[in-house]
Amino acid sequence: MGVVRIAVLMSMAAALGCGSDAYAAGQSATADGDWTMPSKDYAATRYSTLAGITAQNANSLHPVWTFSTGVLGGHEGQPLVVGDTMYVVTPWPNVLYAFDLTREGYPLRWKYRPEVSANALGVACCDSVNRGAFYADGKIIYNLLDGHTVAVDARTGREIWKTQIADLGNGETATMAPLVVRDRVIVGAAGGEFGIYGWLKGLELSTGRTAWTARNMGPDEEMRVRADTFKPPYEHGANLGTQSWGNESWRTGGAPVWGWMSYDPQLDLIYYGTGNPAPYNAEQRPGDNKWSTSVLARRPGDGSLVWAYQFTPHDNWDYDATGAMVLADLTVGGQAVKALVHFDKNGFAYTLDRATGRVLVAQPFTPVNWAQSVDLSNGRPVLNPAKETGASRGNIKGICPSLEGGVSPASPPAYSPRTHLFYTSTNNLCMDYAVRHAKHLKGVPFVGVVSPYSAGPGGYLGSFMAWDAAKGSKVWENKEPFPNWSGALVTAGDVVFYGTLDGWFKSADARSGRVLSKFKVGSGVVGNPITYRGPDGRQYVAVYAGLGGDWALIAGDTRSDDPADVRAPADPVNEIARHTSQGGIVWIFAL
Amino acid sequence: MTQATVACRARSWRLCLASPILAGALLSCGQPHTSESQAASAAPPAVAYESHVVAGDTPPLGGSLRNPHDGDAAVARGGAMLFNAMNCDGCHGTDGTGWVGPNLGDGRWRYGGADAEVFNSIYYGRPRGMPAFGGTLGVEGVWTLVTYLRSLTPPPNMPTESWQN
């Protein structure tokens, strides 16, 4: 942007009185005003260089536009902004809206309504969620709940290709956002509660054809493991994906892929986490169950596995590792490190060397009692034997965190290279856990647990916090009356944004946590805020309201859409329905 | 009931389903009340949906199915175990109180609460995610589940949720 244009914009802004002086001062000509991939960038930082909104002016943030999506399922995920168009994917039935940001009221350019099987609603374990789309090569690419990936022309809304990736009849659904690297569209399937044989696929960007399929467990060949190129940091040997599963339990072992992916172009590695092993009764699957509840690093071109690290060997607690793997260059113990940072459901925050998978730092970020620590010499948790579960062990009480996780994998963190801090929602819940022998039956759940929740220690149920991943320590924390389920956004204005389960959308000072603004957005927030520069040059912040995900199940009294399904409030969130109910709304805020 | 017993009974239900004509299976196990013309046809017995509005004053021809175990507490207890063994709780929650699938203990029914309607929901499945269990459970297994579900007593004052402070 030239100097003259900046001057014109500044004078226009001053004349309009829209408070854009800070915008003009904070923008650089290279600032990236779009949001074209789910986590903003390949490193999954959810950090924007836009700096118009600052700790000094954020108190004047206010809504400038809203849109009802017409859909009631949990609105996880986030919009995309590409140029002057905003794209919104709804939960099932997975409508794609394209809004014209150049015109008053942002009317639609088009909407795309794919045919999606309603049967998927009974196969998706945890509400009809969708975690968003990816823009690449002029296409908006996303997954349909019934196990298809679609590519839609970003300009016209015309369907370019549609590929079946998952088998609904076998318990697979698709809720994650794809990742596109070069000519590969990387996708996976949910179904850890249905005993799927978990996998990742690479599709061809131009045609949607499946280029490769890589299992997350099973024989080396099916995992795309080669002895000469697979170097896990702590294990060695052939066929770890079958040797670590007694009774051939890997065949129905789960290890789904439904979270977030990241990519390091220098190392040419994609990173993603796998979900829980199935069933919940760990005694049915003796061994570590590799590579469930793990982070895997693969080559995007052919899917070959380069390293893998398991956060929770022989998972006893449904501690999926599908949360984001954020890539950041940190200084750990005086050493410059290409790090991967992950907040796990198991309550530990991990800082790994992303070239090798070795654990550098692992500290609890929320109350944890299933393990005492993580042994950095072998990467394994030091277990608390009193909290191990199994069908022969009866009801194990007071396990922290609950199976909702210290943070939900649906709630991705953000990282600011300015503050060198990570920002994340947390849950402070514990659980009892009584499992029984489960029988695998194709197409129905493979779970077998009774696991009521209770409030964690400290008298709060969730929080939003800042975390120093080099040290493994909390910097500040805003406690919330309910579990916190939104993703995080941080900007070069040193402002963080997050929503709450009871429906507040908040901005806070990234350095202190001081809340700068809050607004009640009509439904609980389980989505992830984004920011972008509009066609008018101003900085905007967008977020979905739309309570759901696990909260449509746990707090069934927040639902009002079915007179044939009335539920009592559930402990310990028996007040949540007082503050919110379902309903999908897109919100846009500005100064 | 032990797991072994459940498996054994499941096998016998499959045998029940394996009879060549489904109508025959329903007739022998479910005691349908159908018109003679329907009974004579090879088609499965039509079920009259009690919860449907009838267009005009003339309901379509249809029979109803009667639960052979209606009110049998021992069968209901077996149904509670079958509910877990078939992973029903994975969708409908512990004790059927609702999870991703609807609450089955609130006395309300999305597809009707008459014996035949609940039977059909389980046997043939329903849109929006209810799988068809008839092939796995057979007629007797489905009636066992129906008996359990109908033994659940809705809590009093279910419609109202209030906050006092």
- Closest residue, chain B, to A578 (C-alpha): B163
Question: From CA A159, how far away is CA A157, in angstroms rounded?
Answer: 6
DSSP symbol at B87: T
Instruction: Place B46 in a pLDDT band, splitting at 50, 70 and 90.
Output: low
CB spacing of A120 vs B129 below 8 angstroms: yes
CA dihedral A261, A263, A269, A274 (to 10 degrees): -10
Chain centroid to CA A281: how far?
Answer: 26
CB A289 within 8 A of CB A277: yes
Read off the pLDDT of residues A223-255 as tens digits, 9 standing for 90 and up.
Answer: 999 999 999 999 999 999 999 999 999 999 999
Question: From CA A570, how far away is CA A501, in angstroms rounded?
Answer: 15
Which candidate from B87, B109, B128 shows the least CB-CB separation from A446?
Answer: B87
Query: What is the set of active-site residues of A?
Result: 193, 276, 318
- In B, which residues are within 8 Å of A127 by CB distance? 100
Question: From CA A219, how far away is CA A202, in angstroms rounded?
Answer: 19
Whole-number CA gyration radius for chain A: 22
Which candidate from A118, A127, A436 shows the least CB-CB separation from B127?
Answer: A118
pTM to 2 decimal places: 0.91
DSSP for A192-260 reads: TTTT-B-EEEEEETTT--EEEEEESSSSHHHHT--TTT---SS--SS-HHHHTSGGGGGGG-B----S-
Most A CBs within 10 A among B9, B82, B99, B126, hence the mutation to make, goes to: B99
- CATH number for the region B69-157 comes to 1.10.760.10
Question: From CA A560, how far away is CA B78, in angstroms rounded?
Answer: 33
Chain A interface includes B136 (CB < 8 A)? yes
Q: Which pairs with CB-CB distance under 8 Å and at least 24 residues apart come from A153-160? A: A154/A82, A154/A85, A154/A87, A154/A98, A156/A110, A157/A96, A157/A98, A157/A109, A157/A110, A157/A111, A157/A112, A159/A112, A159/A114, A160/A208
A123 vs B24: which has the higher pLDDT: A123
CA dihedral A68, A71, A75, A80 (to 10 degrees): -60
The token pair that represents A542 in the structure block? 């967008």
Buried b (16+ CB within 10 A) or exposed e, B136-165: bbbbbbbbbbbbbbbbbeeeeeeeeeeeee
A and B: number of Cβ contacts within 8 A: 91
- In B, which residues are within 8 Å of A392 by CB distance? none
Q: Quote the mean pLDDT of chain B.
A: 78
- In A, which residues are within 8 Å of B98 by CB distance? 553, 556, 565, 567
A453 vs B28: which has the higher pLDDT: A453
CB spacing of B103 vs A565 below 8 angstroms: yes
Helix (H, G, I), strand (E, B) or coil at A172: coil
Whole-number CA gyration radius for chain B: 17
The token pair that represents B17 in the structure block? 């389903």
Chain B interface includes A129 (CB < 8 A)? no
Q: What pLDDT is attached to residue A27?
A: 40
Question: From CA A370, how far away is CA A382, in angstroms rounded?
Answer: 9
Chain B interface includes A569 (CB < 8 A)? yes
Is B8's pLDDT higher than 50?
Answer: no
Q: Please list, in sequence order, all residues whose beta carbon lies within 8 angstroms of the beta carbon of residue A7, skipping any fewer than 6 positions away.
A: none
DSSP symbol at B50: T
Q: What pLDDT is attached to residue B47?
A: 79
Buried b (16+ CB within 10 A) or exposed e, A494-513: bbbbbbbbbbbbbbbbbbeb
Which candidate from B90, B98, B99 shows the least CB-CB separation from A444?
Answer: B90
CB B101 within 8 A of CB B86: no
Average pLDDT (B126-135) is: 94
Instruction: Classify burial at A359, counting beta carbons within 10 Å of its beta carbon; exposed 0-12, middle 13-18, buried 19 or more.
Output: buried
Read off the pLDDT of residues A312-368 as tens digits, 9 standing for 90 and up.
Answer: 999 999 999 999 999 999 999 999 999 999 999 999 999 999 999 999 999 999 999
Is B159's pLDDT higher than 90?
Answer: no
Question: From CA B147, how far away is CA B73, in angstroms rounded?
Answer: 8
Q: What pLDDT is attached to residue A387?
A: 98
Length of chain B: 165
Q: What pLDDT is attached to residue B1?
A: 32
Q: What pLDDT is attached to residue B35?
A: 43
Question: From CA A343, how far away is CA A322, in angstroms rounded?
Answer: 10
Q: What pLDDT is attached to residue B45?
A: 57
Q: Which helix (H) or strand (E) holds A373?
A: strand A371-375
Q: What pLDDT is attached to residue B158?
A: 75
User: Which residue positions in chain A have pLDDT lower than 50?
Assistant: 1-30
The CA angle B135-B139-B141, to the nearest 5 degrees, is 85
Strands of A101-154, DSSP E? 108-112, 134-136, 139-144, 148-153
The token pair that represents A411 in the structure block? 């709630």
Read off the pLDDT of residues A149-166 as tens digits, 9 standing for 90 and up.
Answer: 999 999 999 999 999 999
Q: What pLDDT is attached to residue A31?
A: 55
Question: From CA A290, how far away is CA A312, in angstroms rounded?
Answer: 10
- In A, which residues are within 8 Å of B134 by CB distance? none
CB spacing of A564 vs B127 below 8 angstroms: no
Residue whose structure tokens are 């990570």: A422
Phi-psi region of A572 (alpha: psi -120 to 50; beta: other; left: phi over 0): alpha
Chain A interface includes B98 (CB < 8 A)? yes
Most B CBs within 10 A among A126, A553, A567, A575, hence the mutation to make, goes to: A567
Q: Domain segments of chain B: what residues? A: 69-157
Q: Please list, in sequence order, all residues whose beta carbon lies within 8 angstroms of the beta carbon of residue A357, skipping any fewer than 6 positions away.
A: A232, A233, A295, A297, A307, A308, A309
Q: Which helix (H) or strand (E) holds B74?
A: helix B73-85
Q: What pLDDT is attached to residue B61?
A: 85
3-state SS string over A325-367?
CEEEEEEECCEEEEEEEEECCCCEEEEEECCCCCEEEEEECCC
